[in-house]
Amino acid sequence: MLELHWGMPVILYLFLAGLGAGALTVSGSVLLRGGGGWFAGQHFRIARHGALIAPLPLIVGTGLLILELGTFQAGVEQVDIAKLFRWINLFKIVNLSPMNIGSWVLGLCILFSLAYAWTFLAPTACAQDDRCRVRRAMAWIGIPLGVAVAVYTGILLGAMPARPFWNSQILGMLFLFSALSTGVAGILCLHAFLRHEENDRPGEQAGYILAVSDALLIALELLIIILFIMFAHLTIGDPAHAIAVILPGGELVWWFWIGVVLFGMVVPALVELRHTLPKLLHHRPYRVLRSVEIAIGLLVLAGGFLLRYVIVVAGQITGPVGM
């Protein structure tokens, strides 16, 4: 096995940045989708949870990435303090490199997510309060910013042709839908923690919206994974060899198919469909235990993390190759 130059800090950055970007995107989308009256209140509840979640993972993930930029390679006792600030070099020039564009977009997204979350902080915040116009205007900006950060985490890897496992145009779309799914899962966990009663009617409607959305996103993720594997497997040469690491007999096959696909996607989706289909098809009340909502959210979050883990490790143990 080759040496891994990108380890846990980078993997956590990709996961946390995707989670924060996904929560911001979902929050803005749900807020703009909200109708009037009681229905608007359910959308506002989801949007508020997403807005409050988004900044923290973005900030923590970016902090881990900054610390990974060679700061501690020589040992903690030999750290050069100046290296802590060399990430500023990314902002000294503006060009079309993925790293430079991503740095600017990520920095703007962090600042914007903090401002957007501020509009929801008041205890009396509601769908028609005095900040509603500012909040909706910010949602229009937050959606493309969140999408850009989520896609960027995949493009950052896909822009490396010497790493055949990463060199795929589909990787950006996979990271986007995974970010949206983990964003929904984070909101679902927070929603479940803050529910006052198991028979809370508004909570049921908000939970139903989240569960249906997550099941749809997981289905799209699975489709993209199939396309990712199919295109790589049908390509002659290095990509076909690289993709074998997650196929039967590969080093990461169990992590990918059991950890990511089965427990991170299929099981949560089946549980969500089990609880949402009666309401969707027969208009029956949506009922789900708080513990089940939390378990679903945690499984999806774990699957999102393992997806980044497998992709980052697989790209390094199967390359580089000659250009």
Is pLDDT of 80 > 90?
Answer: no
Average pLDDT value for residue range 2-7: 67
Average pLDDT value for residue range 295-318: 94
Contacts with 267 (C-beta within 8 Å, 6 or more apart), sequence order: 299
pLDDT for 96: 64
More confident residue, 286 or 116: 116
Where helices occur in 159-251 by DSSP H, the ranges are 171-194, 201-234, 238-243
Question: Cα(51)–Cα(113) distance, rounded to whole angstroms?
Answer: 7
Average pLDDT value for residue range 161-173: 85
Is pLDDT of 75 > 60?
Answer: no
Question: Cα(230)–Cα(40) distance, rounded to whole angstroms?
Answer: 42
Residue at token pair 């493309």: 144
pLDDT for 323: 45
Mean pLDDT of the chain: 84
Length of the chain (residues):
323
Question: Cα(187)–Cα(51) distance, rounded to whole angstroms?
Answer: 9
Tokens of 197: 């009663």
Question: Cα(100)–Cα(109) distance, rounded to whole angstroms?
Answer: 14
Rg of the chain on CA atoms, in Å = 20
Class of 8-317 per CATH? mainly alpha
Under DSSP, is residue 6 helix (H, G, I), strand (E, B) or coil? coil
Q: How many CB atoms lie within 10 A of CB 69?
A: 15
Contacts with 213 (C-beta within 8 Å, 6 or more apart), sequence order: 26, 184
Residue range 189-234, pLDDT digits in tens: 999 988 765 445 545 788 888 999 999 999 999 999 999 998 887 7
Is pLDDT of 72 > 60?
Answer: no
Is pLDDT of 244 > 70?
Answer: yes
60 in Cβ contact with 54 (< 8 Å): no
Average pLDDT value for residue range 259-273: 96
- pLDDT tier at 87, thresholds 50, 70, 90: low
120 in Cβ contact with 51 (< 8 Å): yes
Amino acid in position 247:
L
pLDDT for 81: 55
- pLDDT tier at 38, thresholds 50, 70, 90: very low
pLDDT for 76: 45
pLDDT for 150: 93
188 in Cβ contact with 214 (< 8 Å): yes
- pLDDT tier at 177, thresholds 50, 70, 90: very high
Average pLDDT value for residue range 135-164: 88
Question: Cα(185)–Cα(180) distance, rounded to whole angstroms?
Answer: 9
Under DSSP, is residue 284 helix (H, G, I), strand (E, B) or coil? coil
